[in-house]
């Protein structure tokens, strides 16, 4: 029997969350963001749940090829555009739309030989200071692109840095609005946090429409603004379950310690379960005593340090547990109880995004 750790992807959860995204932005088309191998879910497995999207957004050309190989004929957007000139050949061949965020990418387009003009998304740096043209140079970049025979339609995009927090999006929205004023073309704004938290700001009150929203983390059942709001608050369902089993039991007496560094000491008699899951599976090593875990669907806590291949859990709330008892590290337990990935991420000092992207290659993945 293989080691019992397993990641299970839930296509129905993806479908449900995509629908939630569509309801959050009813007038917009939805890019399903599937970068990083669909946030660790696997593009091929996630595709089944996300095929009702209007397009797929990603940034790795090999991933774009995989989406086309699945038979997807609709829009695919390269969020970071091309990295070198010959990437444009693949864009022409596969009909990929691509972001243009710097002068070098315009130079490459100007030198590109194609019979098929490209649809591009001109990216503005409206304050995040990652990719994009600064507002002062944005219209000149547009004019340059607009004069190229290699370019078909030009759309406008920007990315919000604080959609999940009090600073919000209005300052960036105003910059974007002012800078694009009067230019013809579709607009793409909004990550998950903006879609869930700032719908009013995007719906006309500012005079700004978003023709394409970019839904990422919400489709994967994690709340972009946890702990202020939970996935359940936003009506999202888990899309990935990481599960394993108890492989050993230890009976401790007062004063006994657990694991490397003896970071946990039993105050009295305590039964602990040893679970086949460790940091080499992608379980965050920064999780320590107190991190929630489900044993046979019952919520309990991790104790001691995360090892490479094992963690140890308090079995007090589940006295019936023994070797072979199912354990849910995050996601949905067999009985239906959910342990939100965001709670585990928080205990490890990180975010749900990182946990789902970091499930290790040695963990088998199946879809239910
Ligand atoms: C990753 C990404 C998104 C999706 O962000 P979420 O927070 O996962 O919704 C949207 N737009 C761009 C440009 C991205 O890189």
Tell me how far apart the alpha carbons of residues 22 and 195 are, in angstroms, rounded to a whole number. Answer: 10
Q: What structural domains does the chain harbor?
A: 11-220 (3.20.20.10), 240-367 (2.40.37.10)
Residue with tokens 């939100």: 340
Average pLDDT over residues 113-137: 97
Residue with tokens 């105003």: 174
Question: Whole-prediction pTM value?
Answer: 0.96
Residues involved in catalysis: 35, 260
Tell me how far apart the alpha carbons of residues 302 and 230 are, in angstroms, rounded to a whole number. Answer: 21
pLDDT at 202 over 90: no
124 three-state secondary structure: strand
% of the chain residues with pLDDT over 90: 95
Average pLDDT over residues 272-288: 98
Nearest 10 degrees: Cα torsion 117, 78, 221, 318: 150
pLDDT at 208 over 50: no
Residues with CB under 6 A from ligand 1: 33, 35, 79, 159, 191-193, 214-217, 224
pLDDT at 203: 56
Ligand 1: nearest atom to the Cα of 39:
8
pLDDT at 224: 97
Q: Candidates 57, 101, 214: which one to mutate for ligand 1, based on the most atoms within 8 Å of Cβ?
A: 214
Residue 115 tokens, joined: 């019979």
Average pLDDT over residues 114-133: 97
245 three-state secondary structure: strand
CB 179 within 8 A of CB 138: yes
Give the Å distances, CA to CA, from 41 to 4, 112, 150, 308.
19, 35, 35, 22
Q: Candidates 31, 80, 191: which one to mutate for ligand 1, based on the most atoms within 8 Å of Cβ?
A: 191
Convert the pLDDT of each residue in 229-268 to its tens digit: 999 999 999 999 999 999 999 999 999 999 999 999 999 9
Any residues with CB less than 8 A from the CB of 194 and at least 6 apart, and which? 160, 163, 169, 202, 213
Tell me how far apart the alpha carbons of residues 346 and 57 are, in angstroms, rounded to a whole number. Answer: 27
Convert the pLDDT of each residue in 139-185 to its tens digit: 999 999 999 999 999 999 999 999 999 999 999 999 999 999 999 99
Convert the pLDDT of each residue in 3-62 to its tens digit: 999 999 999 999 999 999 999 999 999 999 999 999 999 999 999 999 999 999 999 999
CB 330 within 8 A of CB 12: no
């Amino acid at each position: 029997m293989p080691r019992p750790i397993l990641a299970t992807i839930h296509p129905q959860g993806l479908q449900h969350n995509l629908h939630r995204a569509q309801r959050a932005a009813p007038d917009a088309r939805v890019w399903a963001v599937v970068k990083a191998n669909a946030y660790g879910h696997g593009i091929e497995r996630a595709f089944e749940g996300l095929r009702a999207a209007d397009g797929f957004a990603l940034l790795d050309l090999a991933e774009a090829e995989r989406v086309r190989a699945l038979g997807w004929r609709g829009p695919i957007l390269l969020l970071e555009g091309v990295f070198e000139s010959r990437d444009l050949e693949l864009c022409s061949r596969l009909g990929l739309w691509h972001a243009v965020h710097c002068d070098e990418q315009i130079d490459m387009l100007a030198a590109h030989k194609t019979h098929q003009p490209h649809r591009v998304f001109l990216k503005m740096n409206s304050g995040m200071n990652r990719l994009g043209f600064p507002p002062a140079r944005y219209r000149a970049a547009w004019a340059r692109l607009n004069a190229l025979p290699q370019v078909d339609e030009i759309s406008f995009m920007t990315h919000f840095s604080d959609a999940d927090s009090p600073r919000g999006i209005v300052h960036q929205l105003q910059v974007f609005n002012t800078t694009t004023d009067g230019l013809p073309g579709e607009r793409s704004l909004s990550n998950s946090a903006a879609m869930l938290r700032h719908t009013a700001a995007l719906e006309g009150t500012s005079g700004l429409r978003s023709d394409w929203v970019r839904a990422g983390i919400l489709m994967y059942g994690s709340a972009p603004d946890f702990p202020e709001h939970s996935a359940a608050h936003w009506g999202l369902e888990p899309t990935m379950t990481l599960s394993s089993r108890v492989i050993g039991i230890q009976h401790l007496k007062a004063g006994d310690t657990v694991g490397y560094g003896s970071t946990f000491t039993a105050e009295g008699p305590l039964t602990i379960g040893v679970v086949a899951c460790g940091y080499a599976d992608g379980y965050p090593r920064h999780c320590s005593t107190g991190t929630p875990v489900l044993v046979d669907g019952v919520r309990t806590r991790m104790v001691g340090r995360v090892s490479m291949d094992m963690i140890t859990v308090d079995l007090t709330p589940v006295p019936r547990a023994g070797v072979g008892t199912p354990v849910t590290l995050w996601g949905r337990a067999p009985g239906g109880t959910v342990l939100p990935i965001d709670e585990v991420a928080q205990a490890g000092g990180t975010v749900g995004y990182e946990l789902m992207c970091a499930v290790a290659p040695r963990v088998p993945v199946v879809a239910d």
